[in-house]
Structures are given as C-alpha cells and as structure tokens.
A and B are shown apart, each in its own frame.
Chain A
Amino acid sequence: MSTVKNTNGVGKKPAKAPADPVAAALNADSATLDGIPVEDLRVAGDGGATPVRRRDFIHIATVSFAGVGAAAVAMPLVSQMSASADVLALASIEVDVAAIQPGQSIKTSWRKQPVFIRNLTPAEVEEANEVDVGSLRDPQTLADRTKPGKENWLITLGVCTHLGCVPLGAASGEVKGEYGGYFCPCHGSHYDTAARIRKGPAPTNLVVPEFAFISDTVVKIG
C-alpha cells in the first residue's frame, strides 16, 4: 500500500494476484489447502445449497473454546474488584452505651462506615410512634427498628440512603431537620426521630444494622 502514491492512478498498474497463499487457495475452486484437496473437506457438499464442511465445525469449536477461555480469564479480572477479605473481615464491633444520656447520641465506625447510636427521649419515642406508618415512604414503626424493651436505643448507619453523605443531627448543636431526627446537608433529606425518611430525595430510612444488646449497656453491632 505504501508504495501506491497516487490513489487516482488505479489502472495504471497491472492488477497483481493476492500475495496471501491462503486467500489464493480459498478463492480457487480446484486449489488445495495444506495438500488436502478442498473437495475432500466437504461432508455433504455435492450440490447441496449450504454445504456443511468439517472445517466449519473446527472454526466454531475453535472460536467457542477461545471464547470460554476468555470468559474464564475475565472472571478473576471482574471479581478482584469486589471487597477483599480484609475489608470483609471488619465484621463486628462492641460499644458501651452507658454514658449516653437520653437525647444524646454518638457516632462510631463500623465497616468503615459511620454508625449513629442515639438514646431517644420519651418525647422523641412518642413523636415517632404517633406517625401514621402508612403515610411513610418506607413504612416502618419505631418497634421495627429497635429491640423490644429498648425502644429508646436507635442504632442506624450514619449513611444517607440517597447518595451516602453523613447526615447531621448526631452531634450536639447540629441541625436535626424538620422532623427532629437527622438532616442530610448534601441534598436535603430529612429523617424523623426514628431515622425514617420524611422529606427529600432519599428513598429509604437510615439502615438499621444487625445489632444485639449483649448486656444492659453493651451493644454488639454486626
């Protein structure tokens, strides 16, 4: 190609036979390929509209085999992206909640994510229970989200279910939003005193992680 300088000069040079011997062999009816007559490769080729050749099978089998191999190689390339063993190993934490007074809350960290542990006041519990559950975007009662007899202990991930910001309201002096729970400053999601979504773009309530009270004052998260 590189020696053909003028594309307008087609026809000046005599057309040469293709240099590729395989292409030449395939183009010629009576040619041989690797010394085997092409006719012999046909299984049912005599006059059939679509002759099936043994070579077709070999082509399909070869490409399929390579395809399976490529898919097998892709698996580790995809799965290496998932959370590694050391990340998954950060399974559970234990928190002493004895010092948290009613109305107070703390932030702790579990699986590299913030967790809010909140000791609700009786007024806040009442406020959460007064809400018509059917009217909520993500209908759950306070009892669904806490442990029996410990309804004042609201433990949730401090991760807004919209796009993952840490909502405000866990530390003293922070804005608690229009419903007295949490307020996400990023896109304006308001959560109530049971950390249920009430207003704004977040689709679900703040996630309640798996937790259990292993004594009256120690809670195990995860």
Chain B
Amino acid sequence: MSFPWAQEYKPQGTVSKWVDERLPLPRLVYNAVGAGYPVPRNLNYFWNFGVLAGVALMIQIVTGIVLAMHYYASVDGAFNSVEHIMRDVNAGWFLRYAHMNGASFFFIVVYIHIFRGLFYGSYKAPREMIWLLGVTIFLLMMATAFMGYVLPWGQMSFWGAQVITGFFSAIPLVGEPLRQWILGGFAPDQAALNRFFSLHFVLPFVIAGVIIMHVWALHIPGSSNPTGVSVKGEQDTVPFHPYYTAKDGFGLGIFLIFFVAVTFFAPNMLGHPDNYIPANPLSTPAHIVPEWYFLPFYAILKAFTVDFGIPFTGIILIEAKLMGVLAMFGSILLLFFLPWLDTSPVRSGHYRPLFRKFFWFGLIPCLVILTYCGAQPPYTQWVVLSQIAAAYYFAHFLIILPIVSRIERPLALPNSITEAVTGKPLQTAAA
C-alpha cells in the first residue's frame, strides 16, 4: 500500500507504543489520512469533494440518530411526530432542517465528486475498483434517500413510495407479487413505513462500510490528479497531512457556509410544500415530483411513452412502462461499465480535446435538460425534450465515448506532475 517513500508512523509516548503493538489503529489513520499517505502535489479543489461527502454522511448519521429518538414510525403518528420535532423538541427544527438539507448537500457534493471522476478519468486503470465501489455507494445513497423521504408520511412521501415501488411491478410475471412483498401490502401502509424506517436507519452504516472499501481501494494506487499522469517519484507528492488536511479543511469551511446558509435561511427551498400535507391514499397530488437529485433519472423514466415492439405486427416486446424502468436503472448501471467503455489511455480531460467538447457541450447540458424536464408535468414538449436528452445520455456513454477514445488525438502529456506544476523539465528522479 502506498509509495515506498511514505512517512512511517513512529509512536512517541509509552502509551502510543503500547497501543500500536496491540491495535495499530492510530497507524491505520496515519497511513490513510495522515502524513503517511503521499498525495500528488497538484490536486485542485475538485479533489475536496470526497472528504466533503464523508463529512456529509457523518452529518446525516449524527442528525439522523437524534431524530430517530423523537420520530414515531406509524401511519397515524409519523406526520405528527415530525411536526412535534419541528415545534416542541428543543432545537428539533434545526436538527430536522439540517438532516433534510444535509441529504441535498450530500448529493450535491457526491455529484461534483462523480463529475470530477468523469472529467479527469478517475475511473480508469488502475482505479476501476474505486469507481465500481463509488457507483455502489451512489445506488445505496439513492435507496437511503428515497426511504428517508417516505418517513414524514406527507403527500409526497406517500406518493413517492407508491410510484417508486411501482417500478418493480413493471417486471414481467413476478413484478406485482414483488411489489406487494416490498410493501408488505397492496399499497404503502404501516408495514411499508416501518420497514423503510428500519432500512433507512441501517443503510447509512452499510454506506460507511462501502466507503471504507472505497478508500481502501483508493490507497492501493493512490489518488489520481488533474494531469492524469501517474506519480513518478517522491518529488511528485506531498504528505496528506498537513497539506491536504489544510486544503480539505478550507473547502469544508466553504461547504459549511453554504450548508448552514440554506439550512437557516431557506430550509424548504429544495423541498416540496406538498409534503407538509398529511398522506392521503385517495388523492394524488396534482404534480408528483421527486427530490431534485432524482430528477434526471425521473425524466428518463418519463421519456418512454411508446411500447417497443416489432413494427406493423402489433407484437409488443417490451412495454413502455418496463422500458422506462429499465432505462432509468440502466442509466445508473451503465456507469459500472464506464471503465471499459472509455478505452483512451489518457485519463485527464485536459489533454483530450474531443472528449472535453462532448463532456462540456454534450453530457453536462444533457443532464441539465434532464433535471429540468424531470420537474415538468408530462406535456408533449417536455416529453420530447427528455426523449432527446435521454437518447443523448445513452449515446454519450455507449457510442460517443468508445468512438472518441479511438479517433481522438490527445494533446502531449507532461512528463511528470512536477514538470506540469513547475514548468521545468524533470531533473534527476529521486527514486
């Protein structure tokens, strides 16, 4: 693990030595996020977001545990217990708003973290496993966030649960029994609410476990960097502590400023007013929208309106509903194959002129459009726009990236990270 020039942990005091010989946990921390982890010297602020995501998870776990002390998972009591937290529990309003917006900020930093990886080719060899674990974390986050959103048992909670569990009923033959098994009934009710609470509580700890593997896998090759050029020697790295603890600390301060600004001054900006109406199983809100972080995927789901079959025969191979659900899950599962779809040996988008154009003028606008369309009612113009954007999304990863990787002529790479940073050719390599 790590580079040969990594600084070694040297316990000073008697107690540290005693602990190190029995349970070398301080040594593990030292090697993971301390001076014992050499990191490329040229990381920019986009490399803050992994640590920020970890902090966001901690905020969610801490606020979530205390909220669970006051929350009551029952169809009659859940909504009122949330109001009780908001009105009666000491500082309850703060804890709930922090948890509510913490989820949004967790997704914001994770999305930036993912886009960092997409642009700088962080998913490429030898870091494929880090990427695969990252996509797994993303899927677990989505499941956790969905179940958490159900817990207040407002209108959006209830109908979100109805729609999302409805995805499973699209599966041929086993779909409807599977949906009833997941819900524990014919519609979202007490059984579903209780189990969602249970799973919402445990999944963050599963996420924490996968994050440990994510970081473990990261520490085998070490962090990537904006040039995408591998570390060649000691002159290319600096110890994580104090260099990146300081840089991450600064980034964390900026992150927290935004987080508390929204939590204190616009706590409901990212939510839906409908969720302050108690759940009513007999009345769907006029316009069901998921939380903002699901909108691109929701737009892909809604983009499929026509059955897929053999033309002029009337034979339907895949129903529109199943297509939408498959496409929505496929849009995420696709990311698992990304390391093998993008075959260019050049990692960083800085040195890939064609890739960079498709990234900034293709993928990013496509996702912005999908996010926007996801929030719109199902009128023709939005459906057509999301169909075009969804088609581009899949084409980007399945067609454009493999072709670009083959035909693109990358720019000249610097010989080393040090050369890229100092502008001088590499002197004698220390190692």
Binding site for B on A (CB under 8 A): 2-3, 5-6, 8, 81-84, 87, 107, 109, 111-114, 137, 158-159, 161-168, 184-188, 200-203
> Which of B16-24, B241-249, B397-405 contacts its partner?
B16-24
Q: Closest B-chain residue to A5, C-beta based?
A: B8
Give 26 pairs: A residue, B residue, CB < 8 Å, sorted on A.
A2-B21, A2-B22, A2-B23, A3-B21, A81-B182, A82-B180, A82-B184, A83-B180, A111-B185, A112-B185, A112-B186, A112-B189, A113-B281, A158-B282, A161-B321, A163-B167, A164-B165, A165-B159, A168-B284, A186-B163, A186-B284, A186-B288, A188-B378, A200-B378, A201-B305, A202-B321
Question: Does any Cβ of A come within 8 Å of B324's Cβ?
Answer: yes
B33 within 8 A of A: no
Q: Given the complex, which residues of B lie within 8 Å of A201, measured CB to CB?
A: 302, 304-305, 320-321, 324
Q: How far is the CA of A88 from the CA of B304 in the complex (A)?
A: 34
Any A CB within 8 A of the CB of B238 = no
Cβ of B166 under 8 Å from chain A: yes
Checking B20, B186, B322 against A87 with a beta-carbon cut-off of 8 angstroms, the contacting residue is B186
Determine the distance from Cα of A82 to Cα of B192 in the docked complex, in whole angstroms.
Answer: 10
Contacts of B304 in A (CB 8 A): 201
Chain B 259-302, CB-CB to A under 8 Å as 1, else 0, gives 00000000000000000000001111011100000000000011
Provide the bound-state CA to CA distance between A158 and B282, in Å: 8
Which residue from B159, B185, B284 sits with its C-beta under 8 Å from A83?
Answer: B185
Does chain A have a CB within 8 A of B195? yes
Q: How far is the CA of A201 from the CA of B163 in the complex (A)?
A: 13
Does B377 lie within 8 Å of A107, measured CB to CB?
A: no
CA distance A120 to B321 in the complex (A): 29
Give Cα A161 to B179, complex, Å: 13
Shortest 8 CB-CB contacts between residues of A and residues of B: A188-B378, A163-B166, A164-B166, A203-B319, A166-B284, A164-B162, A163-B163, A165-B284
Are A165 and B288 in contact, with the CB atoms below 8 A?
A: yes
A120 vs B368: C-alpha distance in the bound complex, in angstroms?
45
Q: Which residues of B contact A6 (CB under 8 A)?
A: 8
Cβ-defined contact, A87 with B159, below 8 A: no
Q: What would 10 more interface pairs be, CB under 8 Å, given A113-B187, A186-B163, A203-B320?
A: A82-B180, A84-B191, A87-B185, A163-B162, A164-B165, A201-B304, A201-B324, A202-B321, A203-B307, A203-B322
> Do A109 and B284 have beta carbons less than 8 Å apart?
no
Smallest distance from the beta carbon of A8 to chain B beta carbons, Å?
8
Asked if B383 is at the interface of the complex by the 8 Å CB criterion, the answer is yes
How many angstroms between the C-alpha atoms of A6 and B20 in the bound complex? 13
Given A81-B195, A112-B187, A201-B320: A166 touches B283 (CB 8 Å cut-off): yes
B181 within 8 Å of A by Cβ?
yes
Set of chain A residues within 8 Å of B321, measured between Cβ atoms: 161-163, 201-203
Interface centre among A6, A87, A137, A202 (most CB of B within 10 A): A87
Whole-angstrom distance between the Cβ of B87 and the nearest chain A Cβ: 29
Q: How many chain B residues touch the partner (CB < 8 A)?
A: 48
* CB proximity of B411 to chain A, nearest CB, Å: 38
Q: CB-nearest residue of chain A relative to B321?
A: A203
Contact between B281 and A82, CB atoms less than 8 A apart: no
Whole-angstrom CA separation of A166 from B184 in the bound complex = 20
| Cβ < 8 Å to A, chain B residues 137-181 | 159, 162-167, 169-170, 180-181
Cβ of B284: which chain A residues have Cβ within 8 Å of it?
A: 165-168, 184-186
A109, closest chain B residue (CB): B282
The CA of A186 and the CA of B180, in the complex, are separated in Å by 21
A93 to B21, CA, bound (A): 71
Contact B286 A185 (CB under 8 A): yes
**By the criterion CB–CB under 8 Å, are A87 and B191 in contact?**
yes
Q: Which residues of A contact B379 (CB under 8 A)?
A: 188
Q: Choose among B184, B185, B281, B307 the residue that contacts A109 (Cβ–Cβ < 8 A).
A: B281
A48 to B320, CA, bound (A): 60
Given A109-B282, A187-B302, CB of A82 within 8 Å of CB of B181: yes
- Min Cβ gap A12→B in Å is 16
Bound CA span A200–B324, Å = 12
Bound-state Cα–Cα, A18 to B340, Å = 42
Contacting residues, chain A, for B23 (C-beta < 8 A): 2
Which residues of chain B are within 8 angstroms of A109 by Cβ–Cβ distance?
Answer: 281-282
Least CB distance from B182 to A in Å reads 7
Q: Which residues of A contact B185 (CB under 8 A)?
A: 83-84, 87, 111-112
Query: How long is the Cα–Cα vector from A201 to B387 in the complex, in angstroms?
Result: 13
Question: Which residue of A81, A112, A167, A200 is within 8 Å of B281 (Cβ)?
Answer: A112
| B167, closest chain A residue (CB) | A163
> Contact between A81 and B167 (Cβ–Cβ < 8 Å)?
no
Minimal Cβ-Cβ distance residue in A for B177: A82
Contact status B195-A186, CB under 8 Å: no
Whether the pair A164, B282 counts as a contact (CB closer than 8 A) is no
Known: A113-B186, A165-B159, A165-B163. A187 touches B282 (CB 8 A): no
CB-CB nearest in chain B for A137: B307
Tell which of B165, B167, B377 touches A185, judged by Cβ atoms closer than 8 Å: B377
Q: Are A84 and B184 in contact (CB under 8 A)?
A: yes
Return the contact of A186 from the options B186, B319, B320, B378 (Cβ within 8 A): B378
B1 to chain A, nearest CB (A): 9
Q: Chain A residues with Cβ under 8 A from B169's Cβ?
A: 163-164
